[in-house]
Structure 1
Amino acid sequence: MLLEWLNLLPVFLLILVRLTTFFVAAPLFSMQGVPHMFKIGLACFIALVSLTSIEVGDPIPWDLSFLFYVGKEALVGLALGFVAALVIYTVQVAGAFIDFQMGFLIANLVDPQTGAQVPIIGNLKYFLTLLFLLSVDAHHLLIEGVIRSYQLVPIDQYMVEIGSAGVAQLMTHVFVQMFVVALLIALPVVGALFLVDISLGILARTVPQINVFVVGLPLKIFSGFVLILITLPGFFYLLHRLVGEMVNTMGQLLRVLG
């Protein structure tokens, strides 16, 4: 019995490496507000539960080649988490477009997850996205995706071609789609605020006595908040599509790596 558990120990460690590195980069799990002990404990629990359900063809050797297996698992976990987070960061890009039109681009907030400067509306939409992910149990989908990743990238696979042309093409496609979806999210508000700018320009030409710079900024801010409130149902509809795109992108990445 003890010998059998010793043979399963390297498999457990490799599963733990992929899960831990995935939690470092994946949305929801990578937030700084989530304690590190909780992440490690959750990764250990999931690795222990899934230990008997993951098939291993060749035995994992206990020699220097084990370090290559560890590096491969870390790369796969980080790649999966980065792709999932990249799809979710689309809403922050959309918020940057809206902030630019509303005049909020000069006032940024500190993102508690990354510590970087992020736009105000982008941060608001990002936290709405996180709440939406929790409400539809997307965190369960992320964990299920990592467990199913062993079917496409087995644990006994020696290495993955993380720098292959297929991975580069996929990442380019994800970046392009991120900006396209961000533009679709921000287009109703940005388009309406552009019409407000045109109206203010016409007003400045017809009534020169009105100081457009004093009137225009509060008007654009008020109009922007009203438009954001009106477009919230469409925003959550796009989020539903975005969750499906996140799962599909993770599957495409695994197929390329496998």
Structure 2
Amino acid sequence: MLDYISAINLPAFLLIFVRVTSFFVTLPIFSYRNLPTQHKVGFSFFLAALMYFTVDIPDLAVDENYFLLIFKEAAVGISVGLLAYIILAAIQIAGGLIDFQMGFAIANVIDPQTGAQSPLIGQYMYIITLLFILAVNGHHLMLDGIFYSYELIPLDRLIPLQEESWILYIVDSFNQMFVIAFLMAVPIVGCLFLVDVALGIIARTVPQLNVFVVGLPLKIFVALFVLVIAMTFYIMLIQNLFELMLETMQGLMQLFGGDES
């Protein structure tokens, strides 16, 4: 047993374990508070043990470069997982824009997954997104992304910090997230804008009608009605958003690996 343990390259296993654990710190679904920390660490350990016998293990020496590799593995896992979370955050931003027009902006709820306040409609759409990801085995695709990251970013290769391509890529992905959130909120926000215009015309033509009392329930009814109609299109947008998240993760790992194609 001792001979078997001594035959294992412990420095390489530690690097794999650090990357997998860092992924689970920020990766959607796996990083939520609903999962106990002990389960995350245990799952990371067994997943790292499986990857140790499937990826190419280089000869590593414990020197000053090895500690840089440890920081590199942690940075890769945290940054790629955080970028994936930022892409999915477009749904909550879109929900926040919708809630602001509906009048639900003062009724935020506590998200048990992150511990932060989130809008009602945004939380509703975000839960549907998570259920969609689980239904299509999207969490398996995320684990595949962790596994294939070793083909793009080998264990013994550092991140090219002198290049600014990966920084521009993150900024572009961040901007793209806001564009997606705006496009998701446009149908309902546009309908509510037309309701505001109609209420303004009614207030000028029928001064006896109190539009402040009628307006809020009317906007809530119209928004929920349009949301039910547009839910089919939102499912298609969620599918495209999930595909974009996987492509964004792959693109960032390619830039970290030194491949700018």
TM category (shorter chain) comes to over 0.9
**Residue correspondence of structure 1 range 48-127 to structure 2 within 5 A:** 48-57=49-58, 59-127=59-127
Structure 2: 5+ residue stretches without partners:
none
Is 1:42 the equivalent of 2:62?
Answer: no
Q: TM-score, normalised by structure 1?
A: 0.94
Aligned to 1:141: 141
Shift of 1:164: 3.8
Separation in structure 2 between the aligned mates of residue 40 and residue 163 of structure 1, nearest angstrom: 33
Separation in structure 2 between the aligned mates of residue 220 and residue 190 of structure 1, nearest angstrom: 10
Separation in structure 2 between the aligned mates of residue 241 and residue 163 of structure 1, nearest angstrom: 33
Name the amino acid aligned to 1:54.
V
Shift of 1:4: 6.1
Separation in structure 2 between the aligned mates of residue 163 and residue 207 of structure 1, nearest angstrom: 66
Separation in structure 2 between the aligned mates of residue 162 and residue 136 of structure 1, nearest angstrom: 36
Please list the CA deviations of residues 157-180 of structure 1 after superposition, one character each: whole Å capped at 9, or x if unmatched: 2x2135741121101111111111
Name the amino acid aligned to 2:54.
S
Separation in structure 1 between the aligned mates of residue 167 and residue 119 of structure 2, nearest angstrom: 28
Aligned to 1:237: 236
Is 1:218 the equivalent of 2:192?
Answer: no
Mean CA deviation greater in 170-179 or 1-10:
1-10
Separation in structure 2 between the aligned mates of residue 95 and residue 163 of structure 1, nearest angstrom: 38
Shift of 1:63: 3.7
Separation in structure 2 between the aligned mates of residue 219 and residue 127 of structure 1, nearest angstrom: 26
Name the amino acid aligned to 1:77.
G
Separation in structure 2 between the aligned mates of residue 176 and residue 140 of structure 1, nearest angstrom: 27
Separation in structure 2 between the aligned mates of residue 248 and residue 94 of structure 1, nearest angstrom: 21
- Residue aligned with 1:50, SS: helix
Is 1:188 the equivalent of 2:187?
Answer: yes
Name the amino acid aligned to 2:112.
P
Separation in structure 2 between the aligned mates of residue 91 and residue 105 of structure 1, nearest angstrom: 15
Separation in structure 2 between the aligned mates of residue 165 and residue 156 of structure 1, nearest angstrom: 21
Shift of 1:64: 4.3
Over 3 Å counting, the alpha-carbon distance change for 1:162 and 1:247 in structure 2 is farther
- Residue aligned with 1:184, SS: helix
Name the amino acid aligned to 1:257.
F
Separation in structure 1 between the aligned mates of residue 115 and residue 95 of structure 2, nearest angstrom: 17
Please list the CA deviations of residues 216-241 of structure 1 after superposition, one character each: whole Å capped at 9, or x if unmatched: 00111111111111111100101111
- Residue aligned with 1:231, SS: helix
Aligned to 1:257: 256
Shift of 1:65: 3.5
Name the amino acid aligned to 1:206.
T
Aligned to 1:173: 172
Over 3 Å counting, the alpha-carbon distance change for 1:168 and 1:64 in structure 2 is closer
Separation in structure 1 between the aligned mates of residue 236 and residue 206 of structure 2, nearest angstrom: 42
Aligned Cα root-mean-square deviation (Å): 1.5
Aligned to 2:31: 30
Separation in structure 1 between the aligned mates of residue 46 and residue 143 of structure 2, nearest angstrom: 12
- Residue aligned with 1:89, SS: helix
Equivalent pairs counted in the alignment come to 256
- Residue aligned with 1:30, SS: coil
Structure 1: 5+ residue stretches without partners:
none
Separation in structure 1 between the aligned mates of residue 77 and residue 9 of structure 2, nearest angstrom: 20
Please list the CA deviations of residues 92-128 of structure 1 after superposition, one character each: whole Å capped at 9, or x if unmatched: 0110110111111122122223222221111111111
